[in-house]
Structure 1
Amino acid sequence: MSLRDSLDLIGMVRPNAGTAAIGHEILAEKASSLGAAERQVIEAIAALSKPGDHNAHLAKARAAVWGYFVQRELLGFRGHADVIRELSIPPEVLAGLGAIARGPAR
């Protein structure tokens, strides 16, 4: 029996054997990416209480939360009330989600 025959036999017996490992890797990457986005939100919210340019910190927090929410929705998580509560996302951050600051008019 050749290698090709063996692979064909495996494909007939377990048709999803080759894709299961890839599917697992994809799920692991999605979880890792969502965790990284959550850490960015936590750091950005913590920066709001630090001295410095509050508007810059607020813009960064809004961008981080917006990206996190979009990523959650892409993964099928539609409700955000639980993470808003768990991460203590302030109302001032939520009020400006999706808003883009415009630069000087040209």
Structure 2
Amino acid sequence: MSVRPPQSFSNPGGSRQTGLDILEYELMAERADALGRHGLRVEQAIAALQVLDDPETTPARREDLLDTAADVVWSFFIQREICGLRSNRDAIERYRIPREVVARLGVVRKKGQT
């Protein structure tokens, strides 16, 4: 989908936009869209953690859910950094990311391990 920026964002002096300006606008829109998609994945992963309080949740299932949530949050933080958002403190508060997930961020697990 191609969208033109509002006229108030145009270059001062009424000069025409260059192809580079248009490309930059499209890239910004794509970054914002990707950030939104990652945010939805974080919400879903955090919601899936609700079963951790269930006594019937096995330790293996618990580890799998926490690892999955950590991977999703890590990807989200990388996307935020691409968008120029350096501090993740506000995202941790907004999405209520548990400390147990934050402690696992960036951990590389070997295949076959949980």
TM-score range, shorter chain: 0.7 to 0.9
1:1-106 aligned at under 5 Å gives the runs 14=15, 16-50=17-51, 53-103=61-111
Deviation at 1:14, TM superposition (A): 4.3
Structure ranking higher on relative contact order (CA contacts 8 Å, 6+ apart): 2
Greater CA drift, 71-80 or 95-104 = 95-104
Normalising by structure 2, what TM-score?
Answer: 0.71
- Structure ID, larger Rg: 1
Deviation at 1:70, TM superposition (A): 1.2
Greater CA drift, 42-51 or 54-63 = 42-51
Letter in 2 for 1:27: M
**For the residues of structure 2 that align with 1:18 and 1:70, how far apart are their CA atoms?**
28
Which runs of 5 or more structure 2 residues have no equivalent in the other structure? 1-13
What is the number of equivalent residue pairs in this alignment? 93
Which runs of 5 or more structure 1 residues have no equivalent in the other structure? 1-12
**Contact between 2:32 and 2:83, CA under 8 Å: does it hold in 1?**
no
Classify the secondary structure of the residue corresponding to 2:79.
helix
Identity of aligned residues (%): 35
Deviation at 1:101, TM superposition (A): 1.8
Normalising by structure 1, what TM-score?
Answer: 0.76
**Contact between 2:73 and 2:105, CA under 8 Å: does it hold in 1?**
yes
Deviation at 1:15, TM superposition (A): 6.2
Classify the secondary structure of the residue corresponding to 2:85.
coil
Letter in 1 for 2:36: G
**For the residues of structure 2 that align with 1:24 and 1:103, how far apart are their CA atoms?**
40
Alpha-carbon displacement from aligned partner over 1:64-90 (angstroms, at most 9, x marks no partner)? 011111111122111111110010000
**For the residues of structure 2 that align with 1:80 and 1:95, how far apart are their CA atoms?**
14
Letter in 2 for 1:31: A
Alpha-carbon displacement from aligned partner over 1:33-66 (angstroms, at most 9, x marks no partner)? 0100111111001101136522111111000011
